[in-house]
Amino acid sequence: MSLPAAIGLFALTALAEIVGCWLVWLWARHQASAWWLVPAALALAAFAWLLTLHPTASGRIYAAYGGVYVTLALGWLWAVDGIRPDRYDLLGTALILSGVAVLLVAHWQPPPG
């Protein structure tokens, strides 16, 4: 798997987790129909399955994935909640993504061939 493909897979994985958790949050906080738990469970199952598709040690994948999750969560904050991330959100995200870059680049095994 190429590095751009892995990052895309991280983004898809994070989106599945965020959507699943957001649907549970809607149900719990806003008394939404319990039917919202069905797509929530499907999204969270997709999240767990997507994590298995990454081709390296799970602990390292979870650590790198966490940084991508934080980045997408702040995008969700802006796009869905209507709250624009402030400079501290952006600084924190930049620091986190720097750590993700170190984790991924230092341990990346390019595809054979």
Domains contained in the chain, number: 1
Give the whole-angstrom CA distance, residue 41 versus residue 20.
6
- 113 within some domain: no
Q: Indicate whether 36 belongs to any domain.
A: yes
- How many other β-carbons are positioned within 10 Å of the β-carbon of residue 23? 21
- Report d(CA 44, CA 41) in Å as an integer: 5
The pTM score is 0.81
pLDDT at 38: 97
20, part of any domain:
yes
Distance CA 111, CA 84 (A): 38
Domain contains 54: yes
Assess if residue 29 is contained within a domain: yes
Tell me the residue range of the domain where 18 lies.
3-107
Is 112 inside any structural domain?
no
Does residue 58 lie in a domain region? yes
Is the predicted pLDDT of residue 108 greater than 80, yes or no? no
2-54: per-residue pLDDT in tens? 778 888 888 999 999 999 999 999 999 988 889 999 999 999 999 999 988 87
In a domain, 11, yes or no: yes
**Is 40 in contact with 24 (CB distance < 8 Å)?**
yes
pLDDT in tens, 68-80: 899 999 999 999 9
